[in-house]
Amino acid sequence: MTVRLYITLFLLLFFILIAFIFGSQNDQIITLNYLIARSEITVAEAVSIFSALGFIIGILVTIVWRLVRKGKKALSTPQQ
C-alpha cells in the first residue's frame, strides 16, 4: 500500500513539475473568453490555473466516488 502511495505522489509531482516548466517557458499572452468576460493572461498563468483546477476536480470526484461506494456497501450489508 505504501509503495502505491509513493508512486502516485511521485507521478503527481512529476506532472506538476512538467506543467510548470512548460508554462514558465511560454511568456506569450493569450486571451480567455468567458461567457460574460474576457481576460488576457500569460500561458504560464493559464497552465497553473488549469492544472490546479484539474487537480481540485479530480480530488472532489474521488471523494464523491468513495462516499458513494461506502454508502452502497453500508446498504448491502444486513443490519441486525
Average pLDDT, the chain: 83
Q: Where are the beta strands (DSSP E) in the chain?
A: 29-33, 38-42
Q: Is the pLDDT of residue 15 over 90?
A: no
Provide the CB-side half-sphere exposure for 14 (13 A, CA).
6
**pLDDT tier at 80, thresholds 50, 70, 90:** low
Q: Domain range holding 58? A: 2-76
What pLDDT score was predicted for residue 79?
59
Whether 61 has a pLDDT exceeding 90, the answer reads yes
Residue range 30-59, pLDDT digits in tens: 998 888 889 999 888 887 888 889 889 988
Domain count, the chain: 1
Whether the predicted model's global pTM rises above the 0.85 cut: no
Distances from the Cα of 73 to the Cα of 30, 33, 46, 58, 64, angstroms: 47, 44, 40, 22, 14
- In this prediction, residue 57 carries a pLDDT of 94
Instruction: State how far the Cα of 76 lies from the Cα of 20, in Å rounded to an integer.
Output: 45
